Structure 1
Amino acid sequence: MPAEIQTLGSLLRTWRERTDPKDAGVTGGGRRRAKGLRREELATLAGVSADYVVRLEQGRFRTPSAQVVAALARALRLSGSETDLLFRAANHLPPGPSTVAVEVPPAARRVVSRMSGQPLAVYTADWTLLYANRMMCALFDLPSPAEAVGENLVVRTFVDEVSSKIATPKGGNEVFERALVADLRLSATELGEDPVFQSLVTTVRDKSPRFAALWDEGRAAPHSAMVKTVHNSVVGDLTIDCDTLMVTGSNVRIILCSAAPGPDSEKLEALRARVLASAA
């Protein structure tokens, strides 16, 4: 492999041009003169500006933050080895056992692809969204799957204060907030030295006194099953079970939602029919 392909800019350009827009969740966009993602599309998926992507590819900026590198790796659907290479090209240590995993392992991908009928999402250990299917987006009034990727649940909960408007956990929002922070605290035992993880905790602590108070309590526990009443704009309120499935060999987790037989499952089925109709 020529040496120039190992630079950050050339790697980004090569991987952007090989990425199928449909695989990245990008639809439409009109007639394309070239294969792959456009710079504007990659920028949107990674949560940066198009000009920023241009400067990276042209080598005018070579030191993006680890958080940006992770977002670019997710947007480009890079493999583990490719993600490592991208991190090293940007002068960062690649993700490992003590860093936040930024890809869905192949076995988990197969599971996810077979469960498209149920609301499902995949999160990193710091609760950044790696993947959400259309049912999950419809249930929680999220943007399209492509637009939702990269959003952080901790930020949405404590900084944007959006989560409490779309779902109320059984026992009140405090139950969910405590569970979320306790899980993040547990992850800190393994990921506390990861700059991406550190940046998230520091940023949210500075912006949310509520998060800071819960963090300082020091409670650590894995996030488990939770019952929520979702305030859905299409089918109205419905009560669902949200289960957390940990992926073996990785620190990503799958969130799977379901409803018990009865009125709530009927509402979920009505939402599923609407999602299928919109995709037809």
Structure 2
Amino acid sequence: MGSDEFGAAVRQLRAGTDPAVVGLPVGSRRVTGLRREELGELAGMSADYVRRLEQGRSHPSAGVVRAIARALRVGRADYERLSALAGYAAADGQVPTELGPGGTRLLERFSDTPMIVTDAAMNLVAVNSGFLALEHWDLTGERWEWNVAWRHFCNPFAAFQQSAADATSHEAVLVAQLRAALLRYPADASLAALVDEMRTRSPRFDGLWRTPRPVELYESSATFTQSDGDSLTLVGNLIAIPGDDLAAVMLTAAPGSRDAARLVEVVGAAEGPAVVKVGQSGPG
């Protein structure tokens, strides 16, 4: 990786940035995105220097990388990518928790499919009404009640059951996600406290943390039991939302199955908005 790749990444991000998002007038523009002059002004550097960066003729400092990332208002993942292309480690920070446009669009466009969006630490950021209709996420009153990994290892849901094979796949993903988050955000005290709590409270998690299993599939099946005693089996697929360093889990049933028909009934009866933000205080 070198200056050419860094320059190409900056050029791509600049071209894909909506001027209105960074506080610039849209007006009549011959090209999409920002002009080099606009990026330079926002980042505190000359347009000529931006040109040299994009052409691979100058190597940026770590401070320049941060300035460009701030100017373009990119997400954590894009900032990390720019840093890596320039040969630096991304600056430590806090796990991003903003839903962002990518997660919002997913929830809105798949309103007929139960879905959640989590941050890098596996905390729920938002869900849709279809997910709430599954009726399995009870609240504990504890600090980590909205964390997917904590709930699985430390306070499992009674209405959520998996086979041994599916639980093994699910656990491998959860541990891998948390390990990756801790590497990216070593200064996040809340994330470190979560991992410490889970290692203390769950011997199974502690063992997997010390000797993690390789992730073979980013999906697993589970059976959800409804309050009326009926149940349905769904497959959860993990989908990355790179720009905001978030992830979505989409729950679907086998096509043409009894579960698929039941899912249509459950989601069809769901009420509420397409996007439900959640957190320590619950849905809101």
Shorter chain as denominator, the TM-score bin is: 0.5 to 0.7
- TM-score, L = length of structure 1: 0.56
1:112 has 2:110 as partner: no
What's the CA shift for 1:97? 6.9
1:244 has 2:238 as partner: yes
Q: 1:273 to 1:218 in 2, by over 3 A?
A: closer
- The one-letter amino acid paired with 1:181 is V
What's the CA shift for 1:232? 2.9
Given that residues 239 and 248 in structure 2 are in contact (C-alpha distance below 8 angstroms), is that contact kept between their aligned partners in structure 1? yes
Partner SS state of residue 133, structure 2:
helix
Partner SS state of residue 251, structure 2:
strand
State the match for 2:152 in structure 1: 157
Mapped partners of 1:126, 1:244: distance in 2: 14
Mapped partners of 1:184, 1:173: distance in 2: 16
Mapped partners of 1:248, 1:134: distance in 2: 24
- The one-letter amino acid paired with 2:165 is G
Partner SS state of residue 158, structure 1:
helix
State the match for 1:263 in structure 2: 258
Mapped partners of 1:231, 1:170: distance in 2: 18
Mapped partners of 1:150, 1:202: distance in 2: 16
Output aligned runs, 1:34-183, within 5 Å.
98-142=93-137, 151-162=146-157, 165-169=159-163, 171-183=165-177
What's the CA shift for 1:140? 4.6
Mapped partners of 2:147, 2:206: distance in 1: 17
What's the CA shift for 1:165? 4.3
State the match for 2:218 in structure 1: 224
In percent, how many aligned pairs have the same letter? 23
- The one-letter amino acid paired with 2:252 is S
Mapped partners of 1:235, 1:134: distance in 2: 20
Gaps of 5+ in 2: 1-72, 74-90, 274-284
Partner SS state of residue 102, structure 1:
coil
State the match for 1:211 in structure 2: 205
Q: 1:181 to 1:220 in 2, by over 3 A?
A: same
What's the CA shift for 1:120? 0.8
What's the CA shift for 1:247? 0.7
- The one-letter amino acid paired with 1:123 is T
- The one-letter amino acid paired with 1:191 is Y
What's the CA shift for 1:229? 2.5
Given that residues 102 and 244 in structure 2 are in contact (C-alpha distance below 8 angstroms), is that contact kept between their aligned partners in structure 1? no
- The one-letter amino acid paired with 1:209 is P
Mapped partners of 1:220, 1:173: distance in 2: 14
**Which structure would you say has the larger Rg?**
2
Q: 1:140 to 1:171 in 2, by over 3 A?
A: farther
Partner SS state of residue 257, structure 1:
strand
Mapped partners of 1:112, 1:161: distance in 2: 25
Mapped partners of 2:102, 2:170: distance in 1: 29
Partner SS state of residue 230, structure 1:
strand
Bigger relative CO (Cα 8 Å, ≥ 6 apart): 2
Which range moves more in the overlay, 245-254 or 223-232? 223-232
Paired residues, number: 182
Gaps of 5+ in 1: 1-80, 82-95
Mapped partners of 2:183, 2:169: distance in 1: 22
Q: Deviations over 1:85-130 (max 9, x none)?
A: xxxxxxxxxxx77531111112331232222211011101111111
Partner SS state of residue 181, structure 2:
helix
Partner SS state of residue 248, structure 2:
strand
Q: 1:219 to 1:251 in 2, by over 3 A?
A: farther
State the match for 1:26 in structure 2: none
